[in-house]
Structure 1
Amino acid sequence: MTPLFFFGTLRHQPLLDIVLGRALTPEPARLPGYRVAWAEGESFPMLVADAGRAAEGVLAHGLTEDDMDRLNFYEGAFSYDLVDVTVEGATGPVPARVFMPKEAPWHPGADWHLQDWVDQWGQLTLIAAGEVMRAFGRETPQQVAARFPIIRARAQSYVLAAARHRPVTLSSPLTREDVEMTSLARPYEKFFTVEEYQTRFRRFDGTWTDTGARAIFNVGDAVTVLPYDPERDMVLLVEQLRIGAYAQGDPQPWLLEPVAGIVDAGESYEDTAYRETREEAHVEPTALHKVAGYYPSPGGIAQYLVSYIGITELADDRRKVGGLESEGENIRNLLVPYEQLVTMLEAGELVNAPLVLSVQWLMLNRDRLRA
């Protein structure tokens, strides 16, 4: 079988191992007439024709039909095809094949270097690739590609969680090392995932529990923003159907909420807050005030939320209904005077947890914000 030349992310050995499902060690090689550049604004590289350069890469020999099926599945999710090339191997010119995009809508940027990519995107990509390859044999590359943004967003949430450290005053010194996982199953893994664990953990007295089953719903990190105009002393609320309330049998499943959205891969929490406020509320915050970062329901949901108050001007002449039709959204927004907002909270009309938390924060800090 013709060997494959990898010029980009599959040069990263841990990623190649995940995609192939086995260990394979390629040899160094070069592709004359090309350079490897960042795809501008993206997290991956592209080949750019350059007569005076040679693209550094690796050459993979001994690939099996199963290897090719797995590689075609992984690269097929990104609309890549195999193209015949001749590379310079350790012993001279070698016929090879390389994955090239069917269409290249990206603009080349600066030269791409593997270590720079590993430092910035490596861990996230390994986690995302694990989820992509778990779909091998169950879904088409096109189905995986359609939900790839949420796969990467979920992967980023793992990376962010691993770097998160809270102050420890009254908290116990117990850590992840005091939990043992014996098995993990994912009976459902699409836009959301359901994970079933078999675990045991160390008790506060130092002994260990018996192994037991625990299940969680994995979403991905998100932010909420409550737009507030201190001049008019008004907030903007959004309202939409929430299937969780409907599924529980609530006769009023349309809920009043703050602006909310999942944190995309490569975004900070603040980036998402600004983007979602523009998309859902059609306003531009001039400042964000962090309310809190927290787990909304950690007994069964794997998600971290960061809530903000967004300072902005709230005009009467605005778009009052929005949302992405491609995602089946139908969202209206309403301007609410502060005093009415407090009355709604006290009467129990506000039942969305981040909204309740944000309104209470605003009640504590309103005078400072208005000043």
Structure 2
Amino acid sequence: MKADWRQGALRHEAVLRAVLGREGADDLARVQFYLAVTGGADDLPVAELAATALDVMALYGLKPAAEVAARLGMVKVRGAARARAVVGAPAALRSPRQPQDVQVSARSEPYARFFAVEEYDLSFRQFGGQASPVVTRAVFLSGDAVTVLPYDPVRDRVLLVEQFRSGPFGRGDANPWQLEAIAGRIDPGETPEQAARREAVEEAGLTLGALETVAGYYPSPGICAEFLYSYVALCDLPDGSAGVFGVAGEAEDIRGHLIGFDDLMALVGSGEVGNAPLILTALWLQRERGRLREK
């Protein structure tokens, strides 16, 4: 029977290990659950397939396969994010850590639709070397995303987008329409750069030139697993290049604004620009603007 499993995504050893977990009497049931959710599709890089398989199998015995299959797209988005996270960032100042420094005793998923919330009972190694008491931590899961600010170095202007945002609305903001950089989730199988170029077409009708990396970062690491890749894109922004765009099937209604660099910084200073990715990107552009204009 095991020979029959090695088809589709299960032909990859890393995926099969993720599905089976430890060898046990329920191997067949675990494989059947995975196949019922994914169909065994082999349509992504192996690292993403394996990370997605881990997320799928974390719900084995907790959720019906049909329920998990109905939101497989978002599970894949989060699996791709986990695959990218394994690479990690430098640890020159912070303490180097190993996976065993965090021990999870229970994991649940109290909410899962477009986004998800995972709750962990865990302990972590403290700076004194001992394990912490078991604590409960909830994490908001949305997958990784990109932001990209189009910049015309010849005209010294940028393109901002304006759209309704549910976060400010939920807070009770008097005006939940936000001025932002172009932004969107990274689809499974995409690189961050590919996602930035796709989103620019969808949200602003723009074909981007060279991408300059601003930063990769967690915007709110205390509660949210989202990791952002922010860019400035060099491009041509003539008069009339701003319009109203968006993917109709996603109810997007996005208006573009062409403004000069000085006007951008004035908006940051006044507080009208009130979201971290655009503020961070504007400050990066302020530092690098001279170099970009010399290209």
Q: Distance in 2 between matches of 1:295 and 1:350?
A: 19
How far is 1:326 from its partner? 1.3
Aligned positions of 1:1-371 closer than 5 A: 7-12=7-12, 15=15, 70=33, 73-74=36-37, 121-132=45-56, 134=59, 138=64, 140=66, 144=69, 147-168=71-92, 170-318=93-241, 320-371=243-294
Q: Distance in 1 between matches of 2:5 and 2:141?
A: 36
Name the one with the larger strand percent.
1
* Greater length-normalized contact order (CA 8 Å, ≥ 6 residues apart): 2
Cα-to-partner distance string for 1:123-153 (whole Å, 9 max, x where unaligned): 3213323444638854637x835x4333222
Q: Distance in 2 between matches of 1:24 and 1:215?
A: 30
Q: Distance in 2 between matches of 1:71 and 1:311?
A: 43
Query: Please, which runs of 5 or more residues in structure 1 have no aligned partner?
Result: 26-62, 79-116
The 8 Å contact of residues 287 and 310 in structure 1, kept in 2 or not, is answered as: yes
How far is 1:76 from its partner? 5.7
How far is 1:315 from its partner? 2.5
How far is 1:281 from its partner? 1.5
Return the TM-score normalized by structure 1: 0.69
In structure 2, what is the equivalent of residue 97 of structure 1? none
Which is worse superposed, 277-286 or 125-134? 125-134
The 8 Å contact of residues 242 and 253 in structure 1, kept in 2 or not, is answered as: yes
Q: Distance in 2 between matches of 1:157 and 1:316?
A: 37
Q: Distance in 2 between matches of 1:179 and 1:230?
A: 46
Cα-to-partner distance string for 1:14-56 (whole Å, 9 max, x where unaligned): 646766899699xxxxxxxxxxxxxxxxxxxxxxxxxxxxxxx
The 8 Å contact of residues 226 and 358 in structure 1, kept in 2 or not, is answered as: yes
Code of the residue aligned with 1:284 in structure 2: it is T
Q: Distance in 2 between matches of 1:5 and 1:184?
A: 27
Based on CA coordinates, which of the two structures has the bigger radius of gyration? 1
In structure 2, do the counterparts of structure 1 residues 291 and 69 end up closer, same or farther at CA, with 3 Å as the change threshold? closer
In structure 2, do the counterparts of structure 1 residues 77 and 135 end up closer, same or farther at CA, with 3 Å as the change threshold? farther
Code of the residue aligned with 2:52 in structure 1: it is A
Secondary structure of the equivalent of 1:302?
Answer: coil
Q: Distance in 2 between matches of 1:178 and 1:75?
A: 32
The 8 Å contact of residues 19 and 70 in structure 1, kept in 2 or not, is answered as: no
Return the TM-score normalized by structure 2: 0.85
Code of the residue aligned with 2:82 in structure 1: it is Y
Q: Distance in 2 between matches of 1:341 and 1:67?
A: 53
Kindly, what percent of the aligned residue pairs are identical?
Answer: 39
Code of the residue aligned with 1:128 in structure 2: it is T
Q: Distance in 1 between matches of 2:80 and 2:124?
A: 26
Q: Distance in 1 between matches of 2:213 and 2:181?
A: 14
Code of the residue aligned with 1:150 in structure 2: it is M
Query: Please, which runs of 5 or more residues in structure 2 have no aligned partner?
Result: none
The 8 Å contact of residues 125 and 132 in structure 2, kept in 1 or not, is answered as: yes
Q: Distance in 2 between matches of 1:171 and 1:177?
A: 17
The 8 Å contact of residues 146 and 186 in structure 2, kept in 1 or not, is answered as: yes
Code of the residue aligned with 2:74 in structure 1: it is I
Q: Distance in 2 between matches of 1:197 and 1:369?
A: 45
Q: Distance in 2 between matches of 1:302 and 1:152?
A: 15
Q: Distance in 2 between matches of 1:187 and 1:366?
A: 46
In structure 2, do the counterparts of structure 1 residues 197 and 14 end up closer, same or farther at CA, with 3 Å as the change threshold? same
In structure 2, do the counterparts of structure 1 residues 194 and 274 end up closer, same or farther at CA, with 3 Å as the change threshold? same
Q: CA RMSD in A?
A: 3.2
Q: Distance in 2 between matches of 1:269 and 1:331?
A: 21
The 8 Å contact of residues 285 and 310 in structure 1, kept in 2 or not, is answered as: yes
The 8 Å contact of residues 19 and 74 in structure 1, kept in 2 or not, is answered as: no
Q: Distance in 1 between matches of 2:203 and 2:127?
A: 45
How far is 1:369 from its partner? 1.1
